[in-house]
C-alpha cells in the first residue's frame, strides 16, 4: 500500500463528455503528478502540481487540466473526451517533488 | 530527445533462477533512474532507484546497475519467485528539465514453477 488513493476505479464515458478523476496523496506529500497509461505501454507524464500550482506539463492538449487543493489532494479533468483517451490514469505523490514517486492503483477510463 | 526503452518485451524465468531486465536510455542528461514493478490491474510499485553518480545499488533481492558510457540500465532479481511475475518499467528523470519521469515500454517477466 502506497497511501495514494484514486477514484473512481473504473468508469465509462461517451465521446465528447467530460470526466473528473480524483487522487488523495500520501500523508504529508505536497506534490502530485498525473500519468496516462495506454494498454501495453508505459505511463506518460501529463502534469504535476506542487503546493496547488502546476509546475510541469507533458505533451497533452489543454483539454487535460487539473487542480490541487490545500490538503494536497488533486483532480484531473478531461474535456471533450476522445476514443484515444481510453487508458489507465495514474496519480503519483512525492514530498517536495522528491525523487521517489508513489503511485496509486489508477482509474480505468473507457471512452465509447 | 528523451527516450527510455527496453531490449526484451517478455522474459520467461524458471523459479529460483536470477532475472536480468535491461533498459536503454538516450538522454545523457538523465541523472536519476527508477525501476517500477506493475502487477496486473495495479499501479506501478517502486522497486529501487539509482542516481547517475552511482553505478550500482542493491536492495532486497534486487540490484540495479547503471552504465553511463553506453546509456544502459539493468535490474537483477535474485532467486526469482512466482510473486515477481509482473511488468517491469525503467524510468528516467532529468532534474534540470523538471520533475517528470519518462518511462520505457516495459518488460513482462513470467516466472515458471
Instruction: State which residue of chain B sits closest to A50, comparing Cα positions.
Output: B99
pLDDT score recorded for residue A89: 98
pLDDT score recorded for residue B5: 47
Average pLDDT over residues B25-44: 91
Range with the poorest average pLDDT among A27-31, A47-51, A55-59: A27-31
Could you report the per-residue pLDDT of B58-88, keeping only the tens digit for each? Answer: 999 999 999 999 999 999 999 999 999 999 9
Cβ pair A20, A8 in contact under 8 A = no
Average pLDDT over residues A76-104: 91
SS3 assignment, position B82: helix
Instruction: State which residue of chain A sits closest to B48, comparing Cα positions.
Output: A100
Cβ pair A47, A54 in contact under 8 A = yes
> Could you give the CA distance from residue A48 to residue A58 in angstroms, rounded to a whole number?
9
- CB of A60 within 8 Å of a chain B CB? The answer is no
Q: Which member of A2, A58, A100 has the closest CB to residue B49?
A: A100
Beta strands in A9-101 (DSSP E): 10-13, 19-24, 31-37, 44-50, 53-57, 64-68, 74-78, 87-94
Is residue B4 scored above 70 in pLDDT? no
Could you report the per-residue pLDDT of A5-25, keeping only the tens digit for each? Answer: 999 999 999 999 999 999 998
Query: Which of B31, B34, B43 has the highest number of chain A CBs within 10 A, making it the mutation to test binding with A?
Result: B43
Cβ pair B79, B16 in contact under 8 A = yes
Question: CB distance A45–B104 less than 8 Å?
Answer: no
Considering only CB atoms, which chain B residues are within 8 Å of A104?
A: 43
pLDDT score recorded for residue A97: 66
Amino acid at each position: 500500500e502506497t497511501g495514494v488513493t484514486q477514484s473512481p476505479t473504473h468508469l465509462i464515458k461517451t465521446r465528447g463528455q467530460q470526466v473528473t478523476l480524483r487522487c488523495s496523496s500520501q500523508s504529508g506529500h505536497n506534490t502530485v503528478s498525473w500519468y496516462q497509461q495506454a494498454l501495453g505501454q508505459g505511463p506518460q507524464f501529463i502534469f504535476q502540481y506542487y503546493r496547488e500550482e502546476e509546475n510541469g506539463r507533458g505533451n497533452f492538449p489543454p483539454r487535460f487540466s487539473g487542480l490541487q487543493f490545500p490538503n494536497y489532494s488533486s483532480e484531473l479533468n478531461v474535456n471533450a473526451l476522445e476514443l484515444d483517451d481510453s487508458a489507465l490514469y495514474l496519480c503519483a505523490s512525492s514530498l517536495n517533488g522528491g525523487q521517489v514517486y508513489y503511485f496509486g492503483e489508477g482509474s480505468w477510463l473507457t471512452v465509447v | 530527445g528523451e527516450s527510455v526503452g527496453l531490449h526484451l518485451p517478455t522474459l520467461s524465468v524458471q523459479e529460483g533462477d536470477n532475472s536480468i531486465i535491461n533498459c536503454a536510455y538516450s538522454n545523457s542528461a538523465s541523472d536519476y533512474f527508477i525501476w517500477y514493478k506493475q502487477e496486473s490491474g495495479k499501479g506501478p510499485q517502486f522497486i529501487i532507484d539509482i542516481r547517475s553518480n552511482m553505478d550500482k545499488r542493491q536492495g532486497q533481492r534486487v540490484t540495479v546497475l547503471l552504465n553511463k558510457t553506453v546509456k544502459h540500465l539493468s535490474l537483477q532479481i535474485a532467486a526469482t519467485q512466482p510473486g515477481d511475475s509482473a511488468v517491469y518499467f525503467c524510468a528516467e528523470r532529468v532534474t534540470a528539465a523538471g520533475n517528470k519521469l519518462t518511462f520505457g515500454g516495459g518488460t513482462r517477466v513470467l516466472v515458471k514453477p
